[in-house]
Amino acid sequence: MKLCAFKSQSCISRRASVLIIVLWIAFGLVSVALYFAHSMGFELRSADNRVAGLEADQAIDGAARYVGYILTLQQQQQPGVIPQAGTYQAESLVIGDATCWFIGRTDQVTRAVAGSPSFGLVDEASKLNLNTVDYTNLQFLPLITPEFAAAIVDWRDTNSDVTIGGAENETYMRLKPPYACKNASFESVDELRLVFGADLEALYGEDANLNGVLDVNENDGDVSLPWDNHDGHLDAGLFEYLTVYTREPVNRTNGLPRINVTDTSATNRQQLALLFADKFTASRAQEILNAIPAAQPIRSVLEFYVESGMKPEEFTMLESEVRGATLEGLVNVNSAAAAVLACIPGIGTTNAPSLVAYRQSNAGNLTSLGWVSQVLDRNAAIQAGPYLTGLSYQFSADIAAVGHYGRGYRRVRFVFDLSDGVAKIISRKDLSDLGWALGRDVHQQLLALQDKRR
Ligand SMILES: [Ca+2]
Ligand SMILES: [Ca+2]
Ligand SMILES: [Ca+2]
Ligand SMILES: [Ca+2]
């Protein structure tokens, strides 16, 4: 009996052990299943994000083709004239499952954290050209030191003479690792990083994501990067105001050379007479020609316009067919920021706000250089003339996109050149790493879209 009882107890204990083992195994299997399910969930989400990213990449390339079409069409219809906002779609452009925006610039000065950037194409001629701007004018840009301005000039000039405060080969060869001073033109604005004395604060200013507006982290002091002065105003850096791309075409759309108004030779005057005869009645053409002094030098297109006595609408008819002495690095008064205009002799910090204010009150009606002579006095206009233009042939399209459900953010900035009559991409730079640049409003719209889906 005792043996039987013992056997039964041992039997129960064995069964209990088996049960525990089975329970452990079952627990283990469930854990493994849960682990794999969780990891598959992550894998699925990450694959979904990758697909959204690919959709955004493809949409950006599609949007770039759209921009090329818009610019070529504009060049054929109105050479050199900036495409007006509203004549093309610059925001919430739907391509397949993706949506695109062109991050633009505006004359409105941000005095508070902006809900969103402005949308549109950016005129490269709204900026100073790093390869042509001279040392004196360059120093008027915000956040630049005289030493950095001198180093910029030394970097691009072909000689090895050190500008006061600047840097040539001997300075660069002392760096670790050493490298040579370029002594040739800048090929991109990013090249500024290599110039002696460059620092991120001067290059980016407070605009860490380079979208032209004040984002929350750009106006919270040192709570989050970048450091800023928390004054409700965007203090942009040098990247905002500089370009290397501005170059006007040599020829008109009919293939003939543009007429250089600074050339006072008899042959050139004859060319002008033919141009006026082509555009105006015989008597008006003669009147304009007579107003332009034959012996006195004309230093710029603006001076030519002032002397000619043409009406603004008359000048618009032939503006793209004439040119000044230089074709590279001219600043377009129709789009340049006040900080850029302030660097130009004759304009300076005194006249730059008046020019911008005139633009703001005449928006949509600025297709020419002529209006400048209504804001600047004669002497100032003549002094500023050689640096100015009313035309633009290079534009950037800073395209940000998201894929389905607002995922897969990407951003690429393209620069288009129209100086040969057809839009060509001359630069492509991925800016996705700068982080979200579409502002609070678009972010909230996309979050609302995701909530609706849940
Ligand atoms: Ca040099
Ligand atoms: Ca910003
Ligand atoms: Ca900050
Ligand atoms: Ca600020």
Three-class SS state of 360: helix
**Ligand 3 centroid – CA 426 distance (Å):** 33
Instruction: Give me the mean pLDDT over the 171-175 stretch.
Output: 97
CB 260 within 8 A of CB 409: no
Share above pLDDT 70 across residues of the chain, in percent, rounded to a whole number: 97
Q: Identify the nearest ligand to the CA of 230 by its number.
A: 4
Residue 413: strand pairing partners: 398, 429
Say if residue 380's pLDDT is above 90: yes
- Segments making up each domain of the chain, as ranges: 251-297+306-322
What are the tens digits of pLDDT across the range 296-353? 899 999 999 999 999 989 999 999 999 999 999 999 999 999 999 999 999 999 999 9
The DSSP string of 316-369 is: HHHGGGEE-S--BSPEETTT--HHHHTTSTTTHHHHHHHHHHHHHHTTT---SS
**Ligand 4 centroid – CA 375 distance (Å):** 29
Q: Identify the nearest ligand to the CA of 182 by its number.
A: 1
**Ligand 4 centroid – CA 339 distance (Å):** 15
**Ligand 3 centroid – CA 114 distance (Å):** 15
Write down the pLDDT at residue 289.
95
Q: Identify the nearest ligand to the CA of 113 by its number.
A: 2
The 3-state secondary structure of 198-246 reads CCHHHHHECCCCCCCCCCHHHCCCCCCCCCCCCCCCCCECHHHCEECCC
**Ligand 1 centroid – CA 160 distance (Å):** 4
Say if residue 216's pLDDT is above 90: yes
Say if residue 53's pLDDT is above 60: yes
Write down the pLDDT at residue 5.
55
Instruction: Give me the mean pLDDT over the 259-279 stretch.
Output: 95
What are the tens digits of pLDDT across the range 219-230? 999 999 999 999
**Ligand 3 centroid – CA 208 distance (Å):** 9
**Ligand 3 centroid – CA 225 distance (Å):** 5
**Ligand 4 centroid – CA 340 distance (Å):** 18
**Lowest mean pLDDT: which of 13-17, 102-106, 208-212, 248-252?**
13-17
Q: Identify the nearest ligand to the CA of 171 by its number.
A: 1
Which residues, 6+ apart, have CB-to-CB distance to 230 below 8 Å? 219, 220, 221
Write down the pLDDT at residue 7.
60
Three-class SS state of 446: helix
Element (H, E) at 5: helix 2-77
Whole-angstrom distance, CA of residue 270 vs CA of residue 292: 12
Closest to 55 (Cα-Cα) out of 392, 405, 365, 430? 405
**Ligand 1 centroid – CA 236 distance (Å):** 27
**Ligand 4 centroid – CA 115 distance (Å):** 16
**Ligand 3 centroid – CA 239 distance (Å):** 18
CB 323 within 8 A of CB 248: yes
Whole-angstrom distance, CA of residue 48 vs CA of residue 400: 19
Whole-angstrom distance, CA of residue 205 vs CA of residue 237: 4
**Ligand 3 centroid – CA 354 distance (Å):** 31
**Ligand 3 centroid – CA 123 distance (Å):** 28
Q: Which band of pLDDT confidence, cut at 50, 70 and 90, is reported for residue 44?
A: confident
